[in-house]
Structures are given as structure tokens and as C-alpha cells.
Amino acid sequence: MRIRPLVLASSSPYRRQLLERLGLPFECASPDIDESPSQGESPEQLAIRLSETKARALATRYPAHWIIGSDQVAVLPGGAIAGKPGDHRRAAEQLRQSSGNTVTFLTGLCLLDSATGEAAVRCVPYRVDFRELTESEIDSYLTAEQPWDCAGSFKMEGLGIALFREMQGSDPNSLTGLPLIALTDLLRKRGLNPLTSVQRSSNLASDR
């Protein structure tokens, strides 16, 4: 299978930083899509659909590429979906609902071959048990990190880790928005191994 250039369908600095860890060259582009849930759609179906929609939204602009789309859905106790809060008030409401409870984060992943239209999709779950949080702790955390653009109202790579009692899942990177283990699997199946690609890059650099 032909190796194609990579494009990350996201403007998120968190996802960009995660993808950089694989040491592969890539471009970033922001897709413009409607992220509203569809009638009767499950949280898992929503996460997968949005990740694929993001990737396909860039297919015309990048017609011979592998486009990576990813989207995250946070499922609060009772099954309600927590989107990006947007402001302090909504973020505080989300954290009050999460306090002392388990929240499941579903991260959809799509690797689209824009030349053929073939898409491989995954959904990676991750469970987070929140500590019992006081109003003072919630307010202090939100004032410090202002996670208005984060589903679930926290930044796991920062002080948000102090909100949790326990985490369970196969890939903690999925909490930040891009499941690297699943992505590496999809890339390897298409002949792109980050480990050997990094080695080739290192050899080329040493030959200069």
C-alpha cells in the first residue's frame, strides 16, 4: 500500500502535540463541521461519526493523503453528553455532575485515505473516577486552567489530573483527544511504522 502524507483534521494544540510524539511529518487543517448529535444517536456513534466527518471535510483540499480525524464525547452519570463548556458557569455545572462519580470518555478516531475514500474507524473508551469536589476546589481549578474548550471541563495534561481518584482504560492519550495506540495500529496496517520511520529519519540526519 502506498504511503501517503498525513494531515491532522484539527486545530487543537493538544492533538497536534500528541501526534508530534510519533515523530512523523504532518500538516494540520481545521475542518468546519456541525458537531450536533443526531436524533437517537448513541455517544459512541456520535464520537465515530464526528471523527469521520472531520476527516472527510478535508478530502477535497487534500485529495491524496491520509487524514486523521478525532473527536471526543464525555458521558456524564445518567448518560448525558457533556460537550465543550465554553465558559466558567457551564464548566462548573459539568464538574458538579462529575464530582464523586464515574465519567466515560469516548474518543472516536478515523484514518481516511482521501484518494480512495476508504476509512478505518475506532472508538476508544476511557473511564475516569472523579474525587468528591468542593465548590472551592471547582472554582479554583477552573480559574487556574480555564478549560472552556475541553469536553468534561478539564485538562488531563495539567492540573486536571488532581480532580481524579482513578482512571481506567487502554490509552491515557485518548483523554487528551487523540488515541495514539489505536492510531499507531491503523498506520502500521497501512505500512507506516512510526518506529522504523523514526530510525530512517535518524540515519538520514547522521549522514548529513
CA distance 48 to 79: 17
Apex CA 16: angle with CA 59 and CA 86, to 5°? 90
Q: How many CB atoms lie within 10 A of CB 4?
A: 17
Active site residue 71: yes
> What residues contact residue 180 under an 8 Å CB cut-off, 6+ apart?
18, 19, 21, 22, 171, 173
187 close to 111: Cβ distance less than 8 angstroms? yes
Element (H, E) at 8: strand 6-9
Query: How do strand 66-75 and strand 118-130 relate by DSSP bridges?
Result: unpaired
Element (H, E) at 116: none
32, 34, 71, 185: the catalytic one is 71
Known catalytic residues? 71
